[in-house]
Amino acid sequence: MKVITPEELEVKIEKGEKLHIIDVREPEEIAEGMVPGAKHIPMMQIPERMTELDKDKEYIFICRSGNRSGQVCGFLEGHGYKVVNMIGGMLEWTGELEWNEQNS
């Protein structure tokens, strides 16, 4: 499974790279802020919503510490999706945050 650090992701965002970022934390967790541009799909909804994802695109998954996003990556990788886990999760994110309920 591919991984990315919070610092590496921040650089990609600052460069303006077109990224597909999905935050799998629970709603009360995302209320603390999300990585800019991230879409919110709670972990438990991934199996029923994975048809919303394009197998030709690479997705970066984020959670609080990197554990849940790692589980999601393993699950989706097994179904043929291109996935990257942000290790360390939001606990190690030092970049900007956005608060946007529209990302759900």
Task: List the catalytic residues.
Answer: 63
The one-letter amino acid at 69: S
| Token duo for residue 60 | 């970066």
Q: List, in order, residues 6 or more apart from 89 with CB less than 8 Å away.
A: 6, 62, 63, 64, 65, 66, 67, 69
Alpha-carbon dihedral sign for residues 33, 35, 41, 44: negative
DSSP three-state, residue 45: helix
